[in-house]
Structure 1
Amino acid sequence: MNKARIAVLAILTLLVINLCFVIFSNLVGMQAFPDYSPMVMTLFNVFLITLGLLSVWQLFTGIDGHAMRGKILLLLAVEFFLVYVAGITNIFPRSVAPMGQMLFTAEIFGAVLAVLLFASASWYMKAMSVPESV
């Protein structure tokens, strides 16, 4: 297994764990979103869960030399980054209560991991295009 693949898998694993922590943990604090309809929040949660499931799918199917998987990884990295930055900057979802320190830390960690995933997925795609010497 090459270093780029190991980096991608490790970072993606951390992103999935962090996302689960942010979505399902009461430790990050319960936020109220009265300005949004239940349908909007349900769709947002479905999006987050789908993002997590696609990431887990990438982990379990492996990323063994398929160019499309590299592109999917880049897309996942961008989506993770946008979700975390939107949360950090209070763009979406806006809560009436201020963001707790634990949630803020988890979202910063997720945004950094998303940037690292983008960089490592780019590295992986570049390494994949160059055949390894035997």
Structure 2
Amino acid sequence: MNELEFSYEGDANEHRKAFRASMPGLVALAAGMPEPYHVGDVSAGGISLADPRSLLQPGDERELDLVCKGRKLISGLAARVARRNGELAGLTFTDLTLIQEQKLDKLVLEVQKYQITQSKNRGCHIDDEHAT
């Protein structure tokens, strides 16, 4: 089972599309919230968070720190809750600094590269010129 996933999300009417990456162990700490949120996936434009207690409601604004295995990866991400889908809350990043944007891009890229490497190591030959 592959724990790292990414997908290309969006439709033809959107101006900006972004890869969404899943990373085991990634959590979001929100200012003023008692416990971390498990991250469903993250992209340069937003994040989905597991929120079984429905503490995040559309329109809410939060400042998030992304943490993996006790290590803070990105801090101070401004985000607004755009939607809820069952126990998941979808947030859109707002007013990011250039540094925060670059760190998000790098995080997503690193997860994608790791997943590609893992696929190759398991014998997936999607880019093998000898595959038919």
TM-score > 0.5 by shorter chain? no
Report which of the two has the higher share of strand. 2
Greater RCO structure (CA 8 Å; 6+ sep): 1
Query: Where is the helix percentage greater, Structure 1 or Structure 2?
Result: 1
